Amino acid sequence: MIKIYHNNRCRKSREGLQTLKELGEKFEIIDYISNPLGINELTKLVKVLEIDPENLIRKSEAIWKSDYKGKKLSDKELIVAMATHPKLIERPIVIRGKKGVIGRPNERIKSLFI
């Protein structure tokens, strides 16, 4: 099953969604802004993406700059921050089976289908 973790207010996320549609694959859209991800889900996501939690955070977000920037945070604290403030999560994220990518640039999504 293919999943896209999507924020409809984000142009890059909408582009990722369009890429999946063009590929003609069936997929599930997960609106993680309306339905925030829990700590366990985020922990699993980081493992599938094979990245550190810090690499899943959008450091340009105002909440990051005001509440977290410059602080030394553990992986667990970073995951809690993303669970508390879903806007901090990079997007789009596409998972296909046991592999996943952050779809920036958009070509990364296509790499899951090669």
**111 within 8 A of 96, measured Cβ to Cβ:** no
Interval 43-92: pLDDT, tens: 999 999 999 999 999 999 999 999 999 999 999 999 999 999 999 999 99
**Number of folded domains that form the chain:** 1
Please state, rounded to an integer, the average pLDDT across all residues of the chain. Answer: 96
Exposed / middle / buried, residue 71 (Cβ in 10 Å: 0-12, 13-18, 19+)? exposed
Range of the domain at 70: 2-111
Q: Which of 2, 10, 30, 80 is catalytic?
A: 10
Residue 63 belongs to domain with CATH number: 3.40.30.10
Peptide bond into 53 cis (omega under 30): no
Whether residue 114 is predicted with pLDDT greater than 90 in this model: the reply is no
Active site residue 10: yes
Q: Where are the beta strands (DSSP E) in 1-114?
A: 2-6, 27-31, 93-96, 99-102
Interval 21-43: pLDDT, tens: 999 989 999 999 999 999 999 99
